[in-house]
Structure 1
């Protein structure tokens, strides 16, 4: 009887203690941000792609070499602690911006936990992985949709042979000679910078350097270094065509990645003091916004007709190309752009194991018109970055819809710049745009 009474009393005391524990206030957001950043920096020691950029306190970086094995259990425990504390934040007492911060932070933590589990060997299908890492559900398109686009392109392409063969022959007339690449790119960058700075107040010291590299899985990459500075690398493994000058100048530079990271640093880190934004984890919802805004930013800076006029007047002559076919070339490119989602389907089937590497490469050749060597390079990109591919096209569509829904239409370009700039300067994730 005494023993039973002791058990009851002990249980009551534990219940009271537990009740007091649950009533403890959650850890402050700044402490959670510091713990999150330190965990990601540690994780980055085991996969160099995890941390795309870091410009926070140097003392937060790991001080010694990593252990031989990934300390997954400890890192997951730390992220779960952060997650629990985020879930108990007093959201009703927060401003709109703080609520956005909280939602974004929770999504970023979930993505980090997913990445650790994947590094441990956890297998996820393409759609589930995309949802957990990037907070987005990739659309599915039947092959008939892509085949109808091929038919439309077939009607416009000159010459004889398969569509991919005719496109390769036609596109060859628009290749930028290697010795003229830098002059063309610098002209595109200068114009993109001028157009962006006419609408956004960027730090006086912001700048970037361009390098030309080879043997990469991507066509261009922005390495943001902090303090408004980026290193942009352009891969010259394959021919670079005239449209890539503005595409890369905008996507990697203005108003794309360079501006996005600069504004996040300026507004989130320096002004708000939100240190979780001092790190950019590549496999996270932030990437969908980053890649989507970088792609849509091309249209913001260079609406179609303005782009055509500028390229014919400036870039074509610099590249030594005849602008007579420019209008038809860009009309065909517009149709080809609608085939971008075909690449997602190839990646989905390849990663899900229902398509071999060779079949995926053949899919890229048929629907994206890649030469076979570039198609195989694309499969290597999918090997490395997996469902990340959705961030370019789905991200672009979500950003476009959001900007247009808030008044940033073709008929109101000033409003488009305004809404786009606000999107770049605030916490946003895919589900927050819908």
Structure 2
């Protein structure tokens, strides 16, 4: 049996026990066998896959399959009932280290928010009032997103190229723990969902569209399908896994997607100019929210720190909700939406892919230049490879395949 077929069949067998482990699949239907098998048998299959991967002749392909197979082995151990420390779970699934975050830094950012937020009242009240003034109504979201996507697609096409025939649909959903999600469908297509449970601000919309669409997740999935499946015959890239190291690179790429095609000054001018007009919002409010976003960029490790508090330290949910309320500067409803994300079984360890992935990609681009973003779109690199080929980024960052709820 071909290595790609073994890999894909095992992934579907794991998904039968843990629905959602497979994020997208566009390969042969015969390989998508979800017959339920004993987790111990799957663990043996994962060990066998790890051994057989060593026979793959192409070094880049072999290394990528090695780290993916290791994550699959971790999944089978968890399915078999093995208990492991949360930090070991993160490391085993994503080949990265979980981060606790620095409370002193978070406190310093809270003090900076006092100056950035206009109005009177508590920080959470002032932020909520400003957020409400720059929120795009659900009925207007797709209309406002249309010119954003058109501009991002044009810039992505000009800078990196796009496979002929790629495309996606976009729609609104509710009842989900994330802000946005890209569902790879195969055949160069995907679907983007925007969750309307919580407000979507104009200031977050370009990043969300870049993250999920151009030149983020959709661009990466379709470009890799064209280059690796159709170009190289590496059919394992028909498949996208949610709990595997590939997500670290994918989220890191998506979190840096807007910067790859548009300078920050351009984004600011766009938001306070044409986009504010399209959305019918006051440019002064948009400017104020941009200042708040800049301060909160240093606080986006909050969800990861909360996950460590909950899963590693065993803190009660009430304490974790209070932590999220304080450092995300949100009310209890918003805090519980974040808690929903970090308690969902397939997402509880995923939260670290954003912060770590973002830093790895920015370090990689700092060393190789912004044009190297195109390499990430078409080459199967691993977190370890990015680390070895990176320089330390100047400023850590986090952001939303899927985005966490906006604080």
> Normalized against structure 2, the TM-score is what?
0.91
**1:124-203 equivalence runs, <5 A:** 124-203=84-163
Does 1 or 2 have the higher relative contact order (CA < 8 Å, sep 6+)?
Answer: 2
The reply on whether 1:393 has 2:355 as its aligned counterpart is yes
For 1:106 and 1:55, the matched residues in 2 are separated by: 22
Q: For residues 370-429 of structure 1, give each alpha carbon's deviation from its aligned partner in whole angstroms, at most 9, with x where no partner exists.
A: 3211211211111111110011122111101111111x2xxxxxxx1x200101211111
Deviations 1:16-44 (A, max 9, x none): xxxxxxxxxxxxxx822211111111221
Question: How many angstroms apart in 2 are the aligned matches of 1:180 and 1:111?
Answer: 41
Q: What is the rounded CA distance, in whole Å, between the counterparts of 1:296 and 1:190 in structure 2?
A: 19
1:40 aligns with 2:11: yes
Counterpart for residue 17 of structure 1: none
Specify the structure having the higher radius of gyration (Cα): 1
1:77 equivalent in structure 2? 44
The CA RMSD over aligned residues, in Å, is 1.6
Q: Is the 8 Å Cα contact of residues 402 and 433 (structure 1) preserved in structure 2?
A: yes
Inter-partner Cα distance in structure 1 for 2:328 and 2:220: 28
Shift of 1:368: 1.2
Normalized per residue, the structure richer in helix is 1
- 1:59 equivalent among 19, 22, 30: 30
Once structures 1 and 2 are overlaid, which stretch shifts more, 418-427 or 325-334? 325-334
2:20 partner SS:
coil
Structure 1 distance, partners of 2:86, 2:332, is: 24
State the shift of 1:119 in Å.
Answer: 2.1
> Is the contact made by 2:39 and 2:76 (CA closer than 8 Å) also made in structure 1?
yes
1:348·1:387 contact (CA, 8 Å) conserved in 2? no
- 1:356 paired with 2:311, answer no
Pick one of 245, 255, 266 that aligns with 1:306.
266
| Partner residue in 2 for 1:115 | 75
Shift of 1:106: 0.6
- 2:212 and 2:162 map into 1 onto residues whose CA distance is 16
Correspondences of 1:28-427 after superposition (within 5 Å): 31-62=2-33, 66-67=35-36, 70-87=37-54, 89=55, 98-384=58-344, 385-406=347-368, 408=369, 416=370, 418-427=371-380
Q: How many residues get paired?
A: 385
- Runs of 4+ in structure 1 over 6 Å off: none
Question: What displacement does 1:86 show?
Answer: 2.5
Write the distance in 2 (CA, Å) between the matches of 1:158 and 1:202: 42
Deviation per CA, 1:89-140, whole angstroms, max 9, x where unpaired? 38xxx5xxx3222111111001011112112222222321111111111333
Give a deviation string over 1:234-260, Cα, whole Å, max 9, x none.
111111111222122111100111001
Report the CA distance between 1:353 and its aligned residue: 4.3
SS in 2 for 1:254: coil
8 Å CA contact 1:180, 1:318 repeated in 2: no
> What does the per-residue CA deviation read over 1:193-214, in whole Å, with 9 as the maximum and x for residues that have no partner?
1111111221221111011011
State the SS of the aligned residue for 1:45.
helix
- Residue 386 (structure 2) aligns with: 433
TM-score of the aligned structures, taking structure 1 as reference length: 0.85
In the alignment, the residues of structure 2 paired with residue 41 and residue 255 of structure 1 have an alpha-carbon distance, to the nearest angstrom, of 28
The match for 1:15 is none
Secondary structure of the structure 2 residue equivalent to 1:52: strand
Contact 1:252 1:258 in 2 (8 A): yes
Query: How much has 1:345 moved relative to structure 2?
Result: 0.7
Residues in 2 aligned to 1:354 and 1:80: alpha-carbon distance in whole angstroms: 31
SS in 2 for 1:139: coil
311-320 or 278-287, larger mean C-alpha shift: 311-320
Superposition deviation, residue 169 in structure 1:
1.6
Q: CA deviation at 1:85?
A: 2.4
